[in-house]
Structure 1
Amino acid sequence: MLNHPEKKYKRFQAIALPDRTWPNRLITAPPIWMSTDLRDGNQSLIEPMSVAKKLKMFQQLVKIGFKEIEVAFPSASDTDFDFVRSLIEQNLIPDDVTIEILTQSREDLIRRSVESLRGARRAIVHLYNPIAENFRRIVFNADRVEIKELAMQGTRLIKEITQTMPETEWVFQYSPETFSAAEPDFALEICDAVSAIWQPSAEQKMIINLPATVEMSTPNIYADQIEWMHRHLARREQIILSIHPHNDRGTAVAAAELAVMAGAQRVEGCLFGNGERTGNVDLVTLALNLYSQGIHPGLDFSDIDEVRSVVEYCNQLPVHPRHPYAGDLVFTAFSGSHQDAIKKGLAQQQPNTWWEVPYLPVDPDDLNRGYDAVIRVNSQSGKGGVSYILQQEHGIDLPRRLQIEFSRVIQRYTDQTGKEATADIIYHLFKTEYLDIEQPYRYRSHNCSNNPLQSFESDASLVEIDIVLEHQQQVRQILGCGNGPIEAFINGLELEMQVVDYHEHALGSGAQAEAICYMELKIGQHRPFFGIGIDRNSSVAALKSIVNGLNRGGVELGADGLLIASVEVLG
């Protein structure tokens, strides 16, 4: 780092707004939420989502309650264009949901983008062009007049094309990209010029979206920029003022909250903050911040683990264990003093009273994060070190929920014996509980072959599996088909079973290293539990984890298929 960074980096200049009003305001209602997970979020991924994953994400966003979803950049690729068409042609868009697409201000891109929306009930066409001085000078070699004309031309063309398609209710959105770095007077001039062409009304408002394309300053300065525009925009009553904060300085959530206090009515972002560079504003955190203040956000995160699982699957990016509200460890206390305070708070908390449990801003149960499965409140020592010992001594890295499940096995041992659970005892109990359980079933072999049929909801070809199990010294054969060996095996069992979570890693290194697979399974309405398998072949390890899970769950193989005998495990 430089000793004198002031010689290289300019300090951002605040705008003159001495009579700002936003510091005295409180947020009393949620903004309009717009998810850009499928567009901005998708563009930021190392491997963009497939059509199947985009559809899965879209359905999850609808389930959460988003009414506006930016689904694609249709002119960027045939995949994006075709995805928009499939949503419309297959009638996959609920009546109360509006899809949005993004386009640059170029005639060919605009025409293809609007064409992708043909037949939609209601759609938002989002036009943007960069306006900041350094972009005008470095990227476009254009002056203010030329940049302004580019935005106006795009607006005129969109208005002209959409007027020929009256079967769709059209909403127009304009973003002066790089607003956060632009001169306020020019941002105002170009937004007013665009709205003058579109001529919004009180019944048919347009959206002016002011992005912090790069987070340039402290959140209070962004709030000042938003309030200044809020005060000065022409046709303000006919405009929905929107924001799109990025997180370059790590303060996007604060910037969004202050911007709403400053007059913004709508927020664009992504679940868990996915997006280019350091990401977009995190809509989960924003929404649950409101919830923690007694304001329903209008979005449903009643099963935060399901939301996180879908996002991690679609994005192929993990949600950090310390991520607000959703991380595996955010409601977990390892400190003895924290554990003691939480334990006392839970003991004193009464139904239908103010939530006042120390260290917990919201009740984990509201997010389907039950106390037994998430919060470590027992003041006895030793439990927190169980997973550490297994990892350090044997390379076994237990997933978070398996750590909690296995801690009950250790607790049972210590309660019954009154003895310390040493490293050797912990490993012995682990093997006994999860690995050395070859009754009633034992994996013997399997064979997989490709099925020529393709699944619309999968990236891979269907496979057929023929798996051989040993049961009471007899051979039992299971046949199944699915998207991969795991799904094929489960389908072949003809049992109401689903995989809740899946983890695997290598034990050791080199050609002789084994793979260990942790499979969290759920049978019917019974609570989830884990099966674990180890083998040099990772696919075999996964299949063994299912077999061991069946053994732990007490599933018996009858003459006509699999029957549940108990599914009552300690976990």
Structure 2
Amino acid sequence: MKEKIIIFDTTLRDGEQSLQASLNTKEKVRIALALDKMKIDIIEAGFPISSPGDFKSVQEICKIVKNSTICSLARCVEKDIKIAAKAMSKLENFRIHLFLGTSKLHIESKLKKNFKEIQEMAIKSIKIAKKYTNDIEFSCEDAGRTNIDELCNIVESLIKNGVTTINIPDTVGYTLPNEFKKIISKLYKRVPNIDKAIISVHCHNDLGMAVGNSISAIQAGAKQIEGTMIGIGERAGNAALEEIIMAIKTRKKLLNFYTSINHKKIYQTSKIVSKICKISIPINKAIIGKNAFSHSSGIHQDGVIKNKKNYEIMVPKDIGLKRKKLNLTSRSGKAAVKQRMKEIGYLEKSYNLKKLYKKFLELADKKGQIFDYDLESLAFIKNYNMKKKYFKLKNLKIFSEISGKTIIFLKILCRNKIKKIKIKTKNDQIYGINKAFNKILFIKTSLKKFKIKYKKKNNTTSVKINIFIEYKNKKFYEENTGSNVIKTYIKTIIKIFNNIWKFKKNRKKIQKK
């Protein structure tokens, strides 16, 4: 019979305390709502004693969360415990999470006490917490480096005094999976009353072992895993919950566990956390990274077209992600080109695949990524000229007024005619530029995404701009590098409008055929 693993999320506590700027109440509530919809079992909403803002956030989260158990952190100090309980007092059921260092290093150098004094502090704090709730979790901080005899001793004592969840943290990400598994196994063998509490683990990622340690711990008997969305947290972060959840789901036959998580909310929740916390998700991040379900190699693309299981161990829709199109580059094979042509509505009998693929490779070597409008033109236009331009920038002047407004004067050559554009904007120059181009050049587009990256070298700053624009349900992409943001953006937009013009012209020719 499969056992349930409890998922404890500490994004709003351990994750938040690692950010450059604290989150406000509104931001924390948004994340808490997303976690609740994802059906996280326990949400550690904050550390109420740490600031009035954190206290208020915990109070507000208690009002809106419907399914998850709310938990607050407290040191083994009476005031901490009272404030934590007060922040959650509107709830009938809540958890207080106590913590205290148990390793020799923490006891002697940080707390300036001995092991007996630590035990006494722990028991005293448990008695105080029990006045407010029976759901008490206790973390043996730095358990990964705690003497195993002393760890067994304190765990037994904590359970005896009413702790319902014992957390064994690898606080500094020091242990390795086989080592951490042994610690949990020894606790189960040597602590006589261990069956009366849930054993939890909270692993940090300093050596990149947080997820591995967490999985090895549940194999040894732990029933709760603590972590954060996208792995944010102190130093190198915490165990990434999306990785743990999907590992349990994907390897369910081997692990024989399950969670109550709504998997289809994983991607959306990770994006919310990323946006609010201003932490970008690496493109190669497991489960939720941009490349997690992307295939560029021709061999891989061919394998995925034939059977997705050849190169995918999970389905994108399981995390709430729509399947992405194959990324067409010079590494792509004929199978990927043929598949994409089929997806945009062209059967192989309507074009010559061999000739198309030859042209495709030539263009991909020059351009990088190939889009649908490129494929159509390569397949059906005899003399498709990528370099041919309809719009050319002839003159550009940028002025800044004292009022804070920016005035941009443009002269654009449209085939044989010069068009003058004047853009006047205060805050959103990008919006103003797009609006003006749509109006003057009579092409209605929608800006979907743009990125600006700054680079410093030898006291010189350069800017790289990537833009995705949509026109008639087709995406057009270009990038450019320069020294001025507005100038570089305008040049990139002109490149895209040239591609759109070519697409319009070529589409008419294709339709006539």
Hey, what's the Cα distance between the residues in 2 that align with 1:431 and 1:522? 20
Q: Which of 309, 313, 330 is the aligned partner of 2:275?
A: 313
User: Could you say which residue in structure 1 is the equivalent of 2:8?
Assistant: 34
* 1:155 Cα offset (Å): 1.1
1:414 to 366, 371, 378: 378
Q: Which residue in the other structure is 1:75 paired with?
A: 49
Separation of aligned partners in 2, 1:328 and 1:58: 24
CA contact (8 A) 2:465 2:488 kept: yes
Query: What do residues 125-174 of structure 1 show as CA deviations (whole Å, max 9, x unaligned)?
Result: 000000101111211221111111111121122123x16xxxxxx51100
Among candidates 202, 213, 216, match of residue 258 of structure 1: 216
What does residue 327 of structure 1 align with? 289
> Match of 2:467?
518
1:445 aligns with 2:393: no
Distance 1:36 1:220 in 2: 25
**Amino acid of the residue matched to residue 343 of structure 1?**
D
Distance 2:77 2:136 in 1: 16
Q: Which residues of structure 2 form unaligned runs of 5+?
A: 335-356, 394-411, 502-513
**Which of 274, 278, 302 is the equivalent residue of 1:343?**
302
Q: How many residues align?
A: 447
Q: CA deviation at 1:470?
A: 8.0
In 1, distance between residues paired with 2:366 and 2:87? 56
Partner residue, 1:238: 196
Is the Cα contact below 8 Å between 2:228 and 2:241 reproduced in 1? yes
CA distance in 2 between counterparts of 1:251 and 1:193 reads: 29
Tell me, in whole angstroms, the C-alpha distance in 1 between the residues paired with 2:493 and 2:35: 31
1:219 to 174, 177, 201: 177
1:459-505 Cα deviation digits (max 9, x unpaired): xxxxx999985887799xxxxxxxxxxxxxxxxx9x9x9x8654223
CA positional deviation for 1:79: 1.6
Q: Identify which range, 96-105 or 412-421, moves more after superposition.
A: 412-421
What does residue 325 of structure 2 align with?
Answer: 372
Contact 1:446 1:467 in 2 (8 A): no
| Residues 269 and 471 (structure 1), Cα distance of their counterparts in 2 relative to 1, 3 Å cut | closer
Offset at 1:78? 1.6
1:149-168 aligned at under 5 Å gives the runs 149-160=120-131, 162=132
How far apart, in 1, do the equivalents of 2:284 and 2:479 lie?
26
Q: CA 1:241/1:546 → structure 2, altered by over 3 Å: closer, same or farther?
A: farther
Q: Secondary structure at the match of 2:309?
A: coil
542-551 vs 250-259, which moves further: 542-551
State the 1:109 CA deviation. 2.0
Shift of 1:50: 2.8
RMSD: 4.5
Structure 1 contact 532–544 (Cα < 8 Å) conserved: no
Q: Which string of whole-angstrom CA distances, capped at 9 and with x for unpartnered residues, describes residues 492-546 of structure 1?
A: x9x9x9x8654223599999977746356799xx787779999998589989999
Deviations 1:34-76 (A, max 9, x none): 1111110111122232333222222221222212111111111
In structure 1, the residue matched to 2:343 is none
Q: Tell me the CA shift for residue 82 of structure 1.
A: 1.1
The aligned counterpart of 1:483 is none
Counterpart position of 2:453: 505
Q: Is the partner of 1:334 in helix, strand or coil?
A: coil
1:11-38 Cα deviation digits (max 9, x unpaired): xxxxxxxxxxxxxxxx945511011111
Q: Is residue 96 of structure 2 the alignment partner of residue 115 of structure 1? A: no
Equivalence for 1:65: 39
Residues 465-484 of structure 1: pairs in structure 2 closer than 5 A: 469=436
Residues 108-139 of structure 1, C-alpha deviations (whole Å, 9 max, x = no match): 22222222111123211000000101111211
**In structure 2, what is the Cα distance between the partners aligned to 1:427 and 1:143?**
78
**Residue 191 of structure 1, CA deviation:** 2.2
Task: Report SS of the residue matched to 2:7.
Answer: strand
For 2:6 and 2:390, the matched residues in 1 are separated by 52
3-state DSSP class of the match of 1:125?
strand
Aligned letter for 2:103? Answer: A
1:141 paired to 2:112: yes
SS in 2 for 1:122: coil
Q: Distance in 2 between matches of 1:388 and 1:124?
A: 58
**2:354 alignment partner in structure 1:** none
Q: Secondary structure at the match of 1:151?
A: helix
Partner of 1:487: none
Write the mapping of 1:372-391 to structure 2, written as runs, cut at 5 A: 372=325, 378-380=332-334
Q: Provide the residue aligned with 1:186 in structure 2.
A: 150
- SS of the aligned residue for 2:50 comes to coil
Q: Could you tell me how far 1:360 is from its partner in structure 2? A: 1.8
Partners of 2:465 and 2:495 lie apart in 1 by 13
Sequence identity percentage: 18
- Measured in 2, the distance between the counterparts of 1:123 and 1:61 equals 16
The residue number in structure 1 matching 2:508 is: none
Indicate conservation of the 8 Å contact 1:410/1:426, yes or no: no
Match of 1:49 in 2: 23
* Structure 1: stretches of 5+ with no match in the other structure: 1-26, 164-169, 201-205, 350-354, 391-402, 451-463, 476-492, 555-571
Structure 2: how far apart are the matches of 1:467 and 1:228?
64
Normalised to the residue count of structure 1, the TM-score between the two structures is 0.66
CA pair 534-267 structure 1, distance change in 2 beyond 3 A: same
Correspondence for 1:23: none
For residues 391 and 434 of structure 2, the distance between their equivalents in structure 1, rounded to whole angstroms, comes to 26
Residue 261 of structure 1 aligns to which amino acid in structure 2?
Answer: Q
Q: How far does the alpha carbon of each residue in 1:245-286 deviate from its partner, in whole angstroms, 9 at most, with x for none?
A: 112221221211111010000100011221112211111111
TM-score normalized with structure 2 length: 0.72
Contact 1:124 1:173 in 2 (8 A): yes
Q: Match for residue 100 of structure 1? A: 71
Q: Distance in 1 between matches of 2:420 and 2:499?
A: 12
Tell me the distance in 1 between the aligned counterparts of 2:293 and 2:215: 24
Find the aligned partners of 1:229 and 1:236 in 2 and give their Cα distance. Answer: 8
Is the CA contact 2:390–2:498 (under 8 Å) kept in the aligned structure 1?
no
The code of the aligned residue for 1:327 comes to: G
User: In 1, are the aligned partners of 2:462 and 2:484 still within 8 Å (CA)?
Assistant: no
2:49 aligned counterpart, secondary structure: coil
- 2: distance between equivalents of 1:542 and 1:29? 54
Q: 1:134 to 1:408 in 2, by over 3 A?
A: same
Determine the C-alpha separation between the residues in 1 that align with 2:136 and 2:275: 32
Larger deviation, residues 128-137 vs 539-548: 539-548
Which amino acid is 2:108 matched to?
R
State the AA in 2 paired with 1:144: F
What's the counterpart of residue 510 of structure 2?
A: none
Q: Which amino acid aligns with 1:518?
A: I
Structure 1 residues 303 and 75, CA, compared in 2 at 3 Å: closer, same or farther? closer
* 1:131 aligned partner: 102
- What is the rounded CA distance, in whole Å, between the counterparts of 2:276 and 2:471 in structure 1? 22
Displacement of 1:212 in angstroms is 0.8
Q: Report the secondary structure of 2:274's partner residue.
A: helix
